[in-house]
Amino acid sequence: MTQDMTALPLSVHPSGTPAVATAPTAKAPAAAKARKTASHGAHDLNRNRGVDAALWVYILLAYAFVFAPIAASFIFSFNSDRFPSIPLGEISLDWYRAVATDPLVWEGLRNTLFVGVITGVVSTLLGFGAAYTDYRYKFAGKQVYLALALLPPTIPVIIMGLAMLAYLSRVNLSGNALSVIISHVVVCAPFAMAITRLRLSQMDPALEPAAWNLGASEWQTMRHVIIPFCKPAIFGALFITMAVSFDEFAVAWFVSGLNETLPVKVLGFLQGQVSPRINAIGTFVFVTSMTLVILAQLLLSNRDAKFRNTSGE
């Protein structure tokens, strides 16, 4: 799925972007010339080696920042000391053992996966619908509709949690995986919508009417024009919403009752005992999801390569 996101620049035809449409005509000859140079490849853009080197260093620093806590968590998960400190204690698998032998952790993991996958799919579907509605239709009360669609993530999670619990328990939906899914979709659908909407705003507004004029029905146009165009965003949305759900602990803490998800368990470890089990769980989940993402990456790039070959690009 990541693959699809990166593939974006390849799949967009330059003239399809609004930027070109608004480009001042005076620049047209230069642009034509530029297009010629650009066809030699992206590296033609690189002119100043000093700046490029600086940017490279910057990228490395950015990734160092992002990965520092992950790496530390990985290292300390093998540390025998209960409280992480330098220098390290002995290498040990105790924390993994503690996690692996805790049936509640396994149950939490199962709940998390179950909730995350369903939340991802439902949120993406709802979000896509809303984004398309915003893109295509103008109607009275649209502002209200958009507010409804985008507002939930702005609610502080702790209050969202209580409001959801109070409400769901009144309609007998609290304390199980379903209640977590319901709340998570509320929070995640706006993310899916924002991502899809961003993609739709890159679509040539003439594309859809053009398809209709060629005799395609609305449904056919959706299926053969819009959905393929949005596919990267749909996968992106699916993936982001799942990730949001996997990581959400506050609302889940309230509504999950006794069916806790893994992040709720981790919150408990953090608040209640500060145990390196946090690191062990983090590392385990990390390695597992890495494996899945790499697999997806390999599968998709394989398919993508085939696609590119056949399309003669």
Backbone phi, then psi, for 79, in 5-degree steps?
Answer: -90, 135
| Distance, CA of 10 to CA of 23 (rounded, Å) | 21
> 230-259: which residues touch another protein (CB under 8 A)?
236, 239-240, 243-244, 246-247, 249-250, 254, 257-258
- Rounded CA-CA distance 108/311 in Å is 45
What DSSP letter does each residue of 286-307 carry, written as one string? HHHHHHHHHHHHHHHHHHHHHH
Ranges within 256-295 binding another protein (CB under 8 A)? 257-258, 260, 263, 266-274, 278-279, 281-282, 285-286, 288-293, 295
Applying CB under 8 A, what is the total number of residues that bind another protein?
156
Site for another protein in 15-34 (CB under 8 A): 15, 17-20, 23, 27, 30-31, 33-34
Query: Going residue by residue from 46 to 65, which x/- string records binding to another protein, judged by CB under 8 A?
Result: xxx--xx--xx-xx--xx-x
CB of 155 to another protein, least distance (A): 6
Give the integer Cα–Cα distance in Å for 251 and 199. Answer: 29
Site for another protein in 72-111 (CB under 8 A): 72-73, 76, 81-86, 100-104, 106-107, 109-110
Residues 110-139 that bind another protein (CB under 8 A): 110, 113-114, 117-118, 125-130, 132-133, 136-139
Q: What is the CA radius of gyration of the chain?
A: 24
Q: Which one, 41 or 312, has the nearer CB to another protein? A: 41
Q: Smallest distance, Å, CB 107 to another protein?
A: 6
Cβ-based nearer residue to another protein, 27 or 303: 27
Q: At what angle do helices 103-136 and 142-150 cross, to 10 degrees?
A: 160
Dist CA 272 CA 104 (whole Å): 16
Phi, psi at 91, each rounded to 5°: -75, 135
Helix (H) or strand (E) holding 277, with range, is: helix 277-311
Report d(CA 50, CA 55) in Å as an integer. Answer: 9
Instruction: Tell me which residues in 149-208 interact with another protein (CB under 8 A).
Output: 149-160, 162-169, 174-175, 182-183, 185-186, 189, 193-195, 198, 201-202
163: Cα within 13 Å, side-chain hemisphere? 10
The nearest distance, CB 202 to another protein, in angstroms, is 5
Six-digit token string for 263: 């992040």
* Least distance to another protein, CB of residue 189, Å: 6
Residue whose CB is less far from another protein, 101 or 311 = 101
Contact yes or no for 254/175 (Cβ under 8 A): no
228 touches another protein by CB under 8 A: no
